[in-house]
């Protein structure tokens, strides 16, 4: 469950759709003001979160297949708790960036960014992240 958002974002970007990370390929490297700066910041945070979530997901999958007894101890609890917290953080960041806008770093200090645009795939992935959080809580 935790691996699906990273793969759907990649598929959406490959097909030219916006996804959880927004229109990432079109805005990579654009740091100009007037909307592009906050889009780049929001997309970067979400993309790095998906990369971290994919890494945690593959680690959990690998350990469950190769060394399942390792997941019964403290390491398994830590990995599951980290995955749950990351899923909740990604969903909260996505919703906050779409509803409120967030502070973002600029060369002059922090500035309040505008709201990012909604997209169907991103909304689906935000709901999926909440489902991943709930699944890790239920264990």
Other Cβ atoms within 10 Å of 29 Cβ, number:
6
28 is in which domain, residue-wise? 4-138
Q: Please state, in angstroms and as integers, the Cα–Cα distance from residue 110 to each residue in 8, 23, 27, 71, 113, following that order.
A: 31, 23, 20, 41, 9
pTM comes to 0.79
Mean pLDDT of 10-32: 61
Tell which wins on pLDDT, 122 or 23.
Answer: 122
Question: Given pLDDT bands bounded at 50, 70 and 90, which one contains residue 33?
Answer: very low
Q: Are 10 and 119 in contact (CB under 8 A)?
A: no
Q: Is pLDDT of 55 > 80?
A: yes
Question: Total domain count for the chain?
Answer: 1
**Most confident segment among 4-8, 21-25, 118-122, 134-138:** 134-138
């Amino acid at each position: 469950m935790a691996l699906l958002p990273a793969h759907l974002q990649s598929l959406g970007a490959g097909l030219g759709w916006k996804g959880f990370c927004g229109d990432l390929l079109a805005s990579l490297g654009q740091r100009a003001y007037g909307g592009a700066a906050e889009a780049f910041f929001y997309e970067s945070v979400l993309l790095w979160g998906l990369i971290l979530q994919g890494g945690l997901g593959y680690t959990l999958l690998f350990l469950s297949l190769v060394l399942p007894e390792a997941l019964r101890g403290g390491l398994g609890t830590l990995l599951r708790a980290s995955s749950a917290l990351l899923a909740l953080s990604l969903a909260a960041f996505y919703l906050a960036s779409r509803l409120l806008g967030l502070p973002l770093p600029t060369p002059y200090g922090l500035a309040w960014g505008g709201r990012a645009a909604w997209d169907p795939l991103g909304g689906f992935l935000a709901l999926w992240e909440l489902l991943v959080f709930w699944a890790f809580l239920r264990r």
